[in-house]
Every structure is written in structure tokens, then in C-alpha cells.
Chains A and B, each alone.
Chain A
Amino acid sequence: METTTPETQEEAKPAKKKKVHESAVKLSKATKRFGDKLAVDDLTLNIRAGWVYGLIGPNGAGKTTTFSMLAGYLEPTSGTVEVLGFSSRSVDELRGRLGVLPQDALLPALDRVGELLIHLSRLQDVPHTKAISMARDALREVGGLDWWDMRCGALSHGMAKRVALAQALLGEPDVVLLDEPTAGLDPRVAYDVRQLVKGLKGKCTVIISSHNLQELEEVCDAAAILDHGKLIASGTIAELTSASEEIHVRVGRTPRAQQAPPLPLDAIRAIPGVTRYEYDEERRDLGVFFDRKQADAETIIGQVLWVLLNAQVRISSVTKGRGLEQRVMDLTDD
């Protein structure tokens, strides 16, 4: 199985005190079965502390099951799941250090937002007065301080989602697990949540399970792509999208009155570092592949554009790599 970070040092024996971990989350041959159904199959992952990490895959890929094992909701059938060096079910050791936003867990309708957050803070071993300020801080962070006295049952979907996010951020945990954090949110709120997650980068380890690939590409440092319960690719976003090994140029349409100039493919192939090219006429997509040891993406983009513009070719867009979405489509396509 592929891992995203190498083992740098032997893990010290888990202790109850806070430890600094190179890898914040580690799954070793984790397998989860529901009866005959194999939901997650022999999954090994090593997620570096401080990263924003995405769990990607189509429906039934095993994202939510993996997420649930990380949060301790589910026990792996075999293998181990460790968060900060402890079993993900070690509540006492992970208290206040692991924050979780479950995807579809309803907030208790009768509780007022403030008192619920205070109660959850108290369960993180925080004295009452500090719990109040902690709850206020978390609610302020998601822009919901005005909802303090509202009953959870009276919140809209978007508001409830943000309150749930606030409880995940209570007490500045070391690891935050977010399951579909922007699902069902309007674009403005989704943007705010993305900014909030970006703001967590470097402060704590964030693991996001989501279908929104553009969002993951935007906020994540690295990701794992799952399909049918198996890990099919993992790495940094740049590695996954091959951003340092290929560029794509979308060729623009020529006005009807004019004749389309021929693509200078031989000239492109002759650019130093370019190893091959692919042109998809239907999508008008020119893919240029290069050896990253000889040239970087920016150099290749400059030279390819120079060649194309000299040949009077109209250009619609240029991207580094093939985009996470395309990569996932390629890898998970049956």
C-alpha cells in the first residue's frame, strides 16, 4: 500500500501527555466489514501533522467508513487506527485533542446552542467559566455568536452545520475531522467555511471527507483516493494532479470566417524537457508531458504558449496538471 509520508522515526510508547507527532493519523491495514460487505479493505495511510488532508472517492468508496473509524464511531474489523499515537477509541487520551464534525448527526433539538457548546466543552474537562468563553470563541469563529440563545431545533441547515463545526473546533484540537463540511451550505457560507479550514492549516491536522473535488483541491495539502474500499492513490495534491509533470492547454475555437491554423505539435515536442504530447480533438485539449528534472511547469507553460501564439493558435485556458476531478475520474472509472 502507498503511504503519503515515510516513517521517520519509531513511535514512542503512547503516553497520556501531549506529544508532538510527525504523523498525526495512522491507519495500518485497517479493514471494516459489515456482514459480507467489505467497506474498507486493508487500508494503510499515514497523515502528517499539520496537513489538511482529503478523503476522496465516489459513493460507496469507503470514505465515510474510514472517517467513522478515525472518529471512533466504528471499530475496525482488523488492523489498527491511531490518532496522535492512540487508538481512535481512547476517549480519555484524545479528549479535547480530537474534534469531529459528523456529516449527518443532528444536534439535540431542545438544547440551546450556547448551553450545548458549554456542555460539550465541560466534557472536554474544562471548568464551567472557561467552557463559556471556549464555547463563545468557537461560535464566533463560525460566525454564529448571535445564535447563542437559539434552540438547536430552530436553526436552519446551514446554521446547524456551522454550530456542528463550532463544536468540532472547541478547545483548538490537534486533529479535526470534517465530514462534508460544506454540503448543503449556500456559496457564501461554503466560502467562509473553506477560508476557516484554510486558516487551520499548520495549526492542526484537518482531515476532510468530501465529494467536492474543487474544494478539496483548493484547501488540501494532500489526499487519498479510495474506490471500492481500497486505496487507489494518495499523495500531495500536486502529485495527484501531476502538476509537476504535465500541463494542459485548451485550444480556443477559430471564428467561422477563418481557417484553423494547424497545431505546431512537432515544435512542442522539440521543447527541451517535453517527453510527449496528447491532443484530444473533441475536447480541444492539448496535454504536454515533461520531465520535471529538466524543466518546471512554469517554464514549459511559457515555452508552449510561445510556440502556440507564434502559430496563431487561439488559447482558452492553461492548467498545471490535469485537475483533481479528472484524476479521480481516470482512477475510479470502471
Chain B
Amino acid sequence: MSPAAEITLVAARELKKSIRSVKGIILGILTLLASFMAVLICIWIESGVRSKIGGGSTEAFQEAYEQAAVKAGSDPAVAHYMTHIPISLVAFLKVLVWIGPLLVALLGFDSIAGDLQHRGVRYWTVRTRRWSYLLGKFFGLWGIVSIVTLVLTVLSSIAVLIRGYITVGDFFSWGLRCWLVSALIVGTWTAVATFISSRFKTPLFALLTTFGAFFCMWLPGCIGVVVRWGTAMQQSAENEAVARATVAQIRWYEYLYPNIYDDLLLSPKPLHVAEGVGACALYIVVFVGIATALFAKKDV
């Protein structure tokens, strides 16, 4: 039996389990409610921006937005590109990259730790390669959270479509792209959660450690933003262009926080997109790689 077939079977079971479990159902309902609120906020943000910048139709708004961005110092090509990304979808993406890790932590903390706790994993280790089992768990968790974010993206896109902020074309292009960005970022959080879950026999410890690790990943991102804006505010009095460059410059330690990759992944510059994809892939390869290597040696 090929490892791919093993991974598919384990991942499919994980998906089914998440959908049917009480925990999965409750989380699904809560996520939907939270997302509904988030969509309303995103619409409110877009309507606020539109009324501030002006322009009745979407085209008029985009034109006015582009002019404002160029006036503020943006590269005209980038400004043109960015104004075509529906604000409400981008705002909802920012929400998704927060909901994603939360779902990953709550759905995934016991994916392996739960099996280790009562040794249920022993029914699998005589039938699957250890690394196939772990990858199956990883892809299963990544899959279920990505499905949830896809559903939320579709629902939010429909809401802004009804409001007339996006076209059907935007729905399929930007909506899908925003979801792909969120799915990639969710992959990095999933890799970390899977690694942690495979190291504990007590799910509660896995949960606490997962949240602790996620906080530690968030901290450098948070510090980076504070440092960037602090420096930029000092510079802005002397040279506004330098200040804007400072804000745009990601510090090395901020790469530890996967949520900052969304700007890279949505960038019109292929190099930035590649950088974002590479950072996500590196995160996944490192954490899943270490987890599989350790799990292969683990006494279960």
C-alpha cells in the first residue's frame, strides 16, 4: 500500500471525525456566528471607506481610491492593483487568519494526543507507517479548517456581492485568492499544532502548549508592527517617504508570525508571492518534518 493511500485514508477519517464530533459541530456553529458578525463589520468598514473617499459606483470608488493611494506615495502600478482588491474581502481575510489558528488549536490539540492518551494509536501503528499516520492527521486538520474558511469566504463574498461592493468576477477571483491565502497561512499553524499534539499524551497539556506556542509566534509579529510604526512616526516629521518605507519593511523576526504573510501573498509582485509561499512551505516542512522524525522513534 502506498504512503499516499495511507495518508488519504487517515486524513479522510480525520475530516469525518471533525465534522461529526460534538466539539466540531459546536465550533462550527460558533465560527459561523462569529463570522457573521465579522462580515457585518467588514461591510461597515468598506462603507465607511467609500463614504470617506467618495465615488458612487464601484468603478468610481476604485478610481478615487487609486488616486488617493498614489497621492499618499504608493507606486502607481501597485496602487492600481490594490484598489481592485475588494476592501471587505481583504478585511475578512484578516479575520480569517485569526479564526484559522483558533480553529486549528481547538480542533487539532487532541488529534494525535487523544490517540496517544488511551493508546488508540496502537490500532493504527501496526497498519500505517508512522509518518503516514502523522501526515494524515496533519492534512485532515488542515483540510477541515480550510473547508470551514472556504465556507466562510463564500458566505462573506455573497454578503458583499449583495451589497454591490464586488462583482461576480471578483467573487471568483479575489474571493478564491483570499481563501487560498488564508488556507496557506492556516497550513503553517496546523503544522505547529500537529507537532505539539504528537508530543503529548495528555490533550489538555497539548491544548495549553498550543496556545502558548501560538502566543509566542504572535509576539514577534506584534513587536515588529510596534517597532515599525514607532520608527516611522519618528521619521515622518523629517521624510514621509522614508517613513512609509519603514512601515513596509518587514523585520526578520516577524517572519515567525505567519499571519504577516498575507500581505506578501496578496502582493502584485511575484517575488513577494514566492516569498510568502516559501515562508509558509518552510514552516510546514520544518514542523511536520521534525514531528514525523520524532514520532517515528516514539514509544507508543
Binding site for B on A (CB under 8 A): 68, 71-75, 91-92, 94-95, 98-100, 102, 104-108, 110-111, 119-120, 122-125, 164, 167
Chain A residue numbers with a CB within 8 Å of B297 are 75
- Verify B9–A123 contact, CB threshold 8 A: yes
Segment 14-34 of B: residues with Cβ below 8 Å from A = 17, 20-21
B13: Cβ under 8 A from any A Cβ: yes
Q: Which residue of the partner chain B has the closest CB to A65?
A: B299
23 examples of A-B residue contacts, CB within 8 angstroms: A73-B125, A75-B297, A91-B125, A91-B128, A95-B1, A102-B123, A104-B118, A105-B121, A105-B122, A106-B118, A106-B119, A108-B17, A108-B115, A110-B20, A111-B17, A119-B9, A120-B127, A123-B1, A123-B6, A123-B9, A123-B10, A124-B1, A125-B5
Q: How far is the CA of A68 from the CA of B115 in the complex (A)?
A: 16
**Closest beta carbon of chain B to A107's beta carbon, Å:** 7
The interface residues of chain B lying within 8 Å CB-to-CB of A111 are 17
Contacts of A100 in B (CB 8 A): 122, 126
User: Which of the residues B13, B17, B118, B127 comes within 8 Å of A95, measured between beta carbons?
Assistant: B127
Q: How far is the CA of A91 from the CA of B63 in the complex (A)?
A: 62
Q: Are A74 and B127 in contact (CB under 8 A)?
A: no
Kindly list 5 other residue pairs between chains A and B, CB separation below 8 angstroms, not including A72-B125, A91-B127, A120-B123.
A72-B126, A92-B129, A105-B118, A107-B123, A125-B1
A71 touches B9 (CB 8 A): no
CA–CA, A102 and B130, complex, Å = 17
B-chain residues with CB within 8 Å of residue A124 when the two chains form the complex: 1, 127
Known contacts A91-B129, A123-B9; A167/B299 CB under 8 A: no
Q: Which residues of A contact B125 (CB under 8 A)?
A: 72-73, 91
User: When chains A and B are docked, how far (Å) is the Cα of A71 from the Cα of B127?
Assistant: 11
- A106: chain B residues at CB < 8 Å are 118-120
Task: Select one of A72, A102, A110, A164 contacting B17, CB under 8 A.
Answer: A110
Which residues of B, 260-299, contact A by the 8 Å Cβ criterion? 297, 299
Return chain B residues, CB-CB under 8 Å to A110: 17, 20-21
Q: Could you tell me the distance between the alpha carbons of A123 and B127 in the complex, rounded to whole angstroms?
A: 6
**In contact, B17 and A107 (Cβ under 8 angstroms):** no
Q: Which residue of B lies closest to A173 (CB)?
A: B126
A167 CA to B13 CA, complexed, in Å? 17
B51 to A: closest C-beta gap in Å: 50
- Bound CA–CA A100/B123 (angstroms): 8
A residues near B115, Cβ cutoff 8 Å: 108
Check B124 for interface membership: any CB of A closer than 8 A: yes
Contact status of A123 and B124, CB under 8 A, knowing A73-B300, A105-B119 = yes
Give B128's nearest chain A residue, CB to CB: A123
B299 touches A74 (CB 8 A): yes
Report the minimum CB–CB distance from A112 to chain B (whole Å). Answer: 10
Contacts of B21 in A (CB 8 A): 110
For chain B, residues 99 to 156, give those with C-beta under 8 angstroms from any C-beta of chain A.
Answer: 115, 118-130
Instruction: Tell me how far the C-beta of B84 lies from the nearest C-beta in chain A, rounded to whole angstroms.
Output: 45
Residues of B within 8 A of A74 (CB): 299-300
List, in ascending order, chain A residues with CB within 8 A of B121's CB.
Answer: 105
A71–B5 CA distance with the chains assembled, in angstroms: 22
Interfacial chain A residues near B130, Cβ < 8 Å: 91
Distance to closest chain B CB from A176 (angstroms) = 11
Complex formed: what's the CA distance from A132 to B5 in Å? 18
Pick the contact of B126: A71, A75, A104, A119 (CB < 8 A).
A71
In-complex Cβ contact of B9 among A73, A105, A122 (8 A): A122
In chain A, what residue has the closest Cβ to B1?
A125
Question: Which residue of chain A is the closest to B13 with respect to CB atoms?
Answer: A119
A312 to chain B minimum Cβ distance, whole angstroms, is 60
Q: Are A102 and B122 in contact (CB under 8 A)?
A: yes
The CA-CA distance from A107 to B124 in the complex, in Å, is 11
Q: For the complex, what is the distance from the CA of A167 to the CA of B120, rounded to whole Å?
A: 12
Which chain A positions have C-beta within 8 A of B20? 110
Q: Does A98 lie within 8 Å of B118, measured CB to CB?
A: no
Chain B residues lying within 8 Å of A71, measured Cβ to Cβ, are 122, 126
Complex Cα distance A106/B127, Å? 17
Q: Is the CB of B122 within 8 A of A73?
A: yes
B75 to chain A, nearest CB (A): 53
Residues of the B chain whose Cβ atoms lie less than 8 Å from the Cβ of A94:
126
Closest to A106 in B: B118
Cα distance A142–B298 in the bound complex, in angstroms: 32
A4 CA to B55 CA in the complex, in Å?
91
User: Are B123 and A105 in contact, with the CB atoms below 8 A?
Assistant: yes
Q: For A75, what are the chain B residues with a Cβ–Cβ distance below 8 Å? A: 297, 299
Report the minimal beta-carbon distance from A79 to chain B, rounded to whole angstroms: 16
A153 to chain B, nearest CB (A): 11
**A-contact 0/1 string along B62-75, CB 8 Å cutoff:** 00000000000000
Contact partners of A95 in chain B: CB under 8 A = 1, 127
Minimum-distance CB pairs A-B, first 5: A106-B118, A105-B119, A123-B127, A125-B1, A102-B122
- Chain B proximity of A248: nearest CB distance (Å): 41
CB closest chain-A residue, reference B124: A123
A102 with B119, Cβ < 8 A, contacts A119-B9, A122-B9 known:
yes
CA distance A75 to B298 in the complex (A): 8
Asked whether B119 lies within 8 Å of A104 as measured between CB atoms, the reply is yes
- State A170–B252 Cα separation when bound (angstroms): 53
Point out the residues of chain B lying under 8 angstroms from A119, CB to CB: 9, 13
